[in-house]
Structure 1
Amino acid sequence: MPRGRRITTLLLPLLLNTALVLAGAAVAGCGASSAESPAEVPNPLRVGLVPNVAPDEQRARYEPFRAYLADRLAVDVELVVATDYAGVVVALVNGQVDLAYVGGLTYAQARTQAPVEPLVTEVDEATGTEFYHAAVVVPADSPHQSTADVVEAGGTFAFGDVSSTSGSLYPRQMVIDAGAQCQPRDLSACPPLRSVVFTGGHDAAAQAVLQGSADAAGVELRILRRLEAEGAVPAGALRPVETREVIGYPWVARAGLSEPARAELVHVFTGIDDPELLSLLRAVRYTPVTAADYQELEQAAQQLGLLTAG
């Protein structure tokens, strides 16, 4: 597989098909008052984030990063956290955010509607590469030892958001490879699985298994470990029975963002060397990526009928 201060708080009203949870802040510092910085970076720079955890947690986590971008780019930076993955696609396609951190599947969905461009992905601190892992998990005391066991038993399965790479695309591939008869573009059933539900997030999918409403779930393994570290999931309560390697989340530029602006953003990302900030972002460093790095993922999404934003 080819290669995963002075602050004024404001609300940014976006006309999205999916409601957005907004959090922005303008950095005075050396911010410019013109529409663009000397490198043609928009001012303000609107940065969209996928809700792979609760939106409030996502905003708080990325606040130091917002401040870093504002300082290095000399522009105001506004964070926009969507209530779901589809909201980020709408924002990117409509030019309502300039830059967005999305899963590979979310990027592929946006790319079917507008020529958005992946810029960089993180070298993950857990794997030491630009790849991370999607997993199928079951309760620790479950008799199931594989995804095939869950499928053959006619179990119940919880996905995350329908547009999640590691919570939907790759777990769907895993259950199909294990014998489930999931039909392209029909997400409601995968016989012989008894039922399939989309919970909206990795944390909710994990909770569905913990609470017994699902026999197995698709989650991102590093998010599961994070939930365990935070006490949201008891350590060892969920057991992976299968994992798949996934190319890292890309930071994606909207269509029409100039080449100088894209180059400047890549430069700023790959230049991050603050250990605290990198640790916060759970990255060792950032590395450039192109559309070619996500081609295999796009092909899989097309085959599974997942190249839609809803």
Structure 2
Amino acid sequence: MGIIPNVAPDKQRLRYEPLKEYLAKELDTKVELFVATDYAGVVTALAAHKIDVAYLGGLTYVQAQEQVGVTPLVTEVDRETGSKEYLSGIVVRDDAPYKNTKDLLEAKGKFAFGDVSSTSGSLYPRVMLDAAGAKCSTSTLAQCPPLSKISFTGGHDATAQAVANGSADAGGLEVRILHRLEREGSIPKGRLRIVETEKVMGYPWVMRSELGGKAAKSISSAFTRMKDPQLLNLLQAKGYQRVTPADYEAVKQHAKELGLLTTDR
């Protein structure tokens, strides 16, 4: 199974070891864990049949659909929203003068995205910037006037650090990851302030469609019957619910409009 590195790959690999063991037991099969160095690497591995099951962001899933037949199975019930949706946010330092996204644009600030294929670290921050009046390029993603500079940090934790240390005036990231970084002490609580949020359909666990309906049912059931509180806590989930391609139509439409449907960057 493949995992997108929404935080540093070594941390991600360690976090998902207990899930690997759980699935191996529930499915009565050997499970190998693969964490790519970037989001596109997981899509490439799916297309090359090097992995069978993957944990993807919504954007990475619709990008994968362009290359390989994949079936979405389940997503987590988020502990913060109590639903299949979670929050993408634009953050600034607490002492910054910006009260909203428009203020940032008027100041022609520097903005940090996560991985270019991140749903809550790239696509939805771009949606919020666009709604506030930015003219982000759909072909050259590092241009988003009137913002003066665009950077891609590779992950939500790196984006939070970039804003906290002043190398970016604002950044787009997953709100629940920010809260986890605050709990862990990586980011001092209160250092960053959220100026806007947008709801996002949860990360789907997907499988290569050619594995068939029996595999889809078995893997989905392994997730939906998960009850171990320690494992759920590690995964920051209240539980899991099934999802369908229709749940990600809004993500796909936004990706088309903003030039993010392809992983070829």
TM range (shorter): over 0.9
Counterpart-to-counterpart distance in 2, 1:58 and 1:183: 31
Length-normalised TM-score, structure 2:
0.98
Determine if contact 1:58/1:81 at 8 Å carries over to the other structure. yes
Residue in structure 1 matched with residue 137 of structure 2 by the alignment:
183
Larger Rg computed on CA atoms = 1
TM-score by length of 1: 0.84
The structure where helix makes up a greater share of residues is 2
Which one of 50, 57, 80 corresponds to residue 103 of structure 1? 57
What is the percentage of aligned positions where both structures have the same residue? 58
Match of 1:155 among 93, 97, 109: 109
Judge conservation of contact 1:93–1:255 (CA < 8 Å) in 2.
no
What amino acid does structure 1 have at the position aligned with 2:40?
A: A
Select which of 225, 241, 260 maps to 1:306. 260
Aligned length: 264
CA drift of 1:271 comes to 0.8
Q: CA RMSD, aligned part only? A: 0.8
Q: Which segments of 5 or more consecutive residues in structure 1 lack a partner in the other structure?
A: 1-46
Q: Distance in 2 between matches of 1:104 and 1:287?
A: 15
Residue in 1 that maps onto 2:198: 244
* Cα separation, 2, equivalents of 1:67 and 1:221: 28
Report the counterpart of residue 253 of structure 1 in structure 2. 207
1:173 — aligned with what? 127
Distance 1:244 1:103 in 2: 15
Deviations 1:182-208 (A, max 9, x none): 122220211111011111111111111
Which residue is 1:205 aligned to? 159
Shift of 1:279: 1.0
Aligned position for 1:281: 235
Q: Give deviations 1:60-84, integer Å, cap 9, x for gaps.
A: 1111111111111110000000000
Q: 2:45 aligns with which of 65, 82, 91?
A: 91
Q: Deviations over 1:128-153 (max 9, x none)?
A: 11110000000001100001100111
Which moves more between the two structures, 232-241 or 205-214? 205-214
Does residue 219 of structure 2 align to residue 265 of structure 1? Answer: yes
Letter in 2 for 1:288: R
Q: Please give the per-residue CA displacement for 1:82-107, whole angstroms capped at 9, x wherever unaligned.
A: 00000011011221110000100000
1:216-270 C-alpha deviation (Å, 9 max, x unpaired): 0001000000111111101010000000000000001013111111111111111
**Take 1:211 and 1:223, find their aligned partners in 2: how far apart are those partners?**
18
Tell me the equivalent position of 1:57: 11
Distance in structure 1 (CA, Å) of the matches to 2:61 and 2:47? 10
- Which range moves more in the overlay, 57-66 or 136-145? 57-66
Is residue 133 from structure 1 mapped to residue 87 from structure 2 by the alignment?
yes
| Displacement of 1:125 | 1.3
Secondary structure at the aligned position of 1:293 is classed as: helix
Amino acid at match of 2:121: G
Residue by residue over 1:133-184, the C-alpha shift from the partner in whole angstroms, topping out at 9 and shown as x without a partner, is: 0000000011000011001111110000000000000001111111111122
62, 65, 70: which is aligned to 1:116? 70
* Distance in 2 between residues matched to 1:119 and 1:132, nearest whole Å: 17
- Whole-angstrom distance in 2 between the partners of 1:195 and 1:95: 38
Distance 2:2 2:156 in 1: 19
Contact persistence 1:95–1:255 (CA under 8 A): no
**1:78 aligned counterpart, secondary structure:** coil
1:96, 1:166 → 2: CA distance?
A: 26
Alignment of 1:217 with 2:168, yes or no, is no
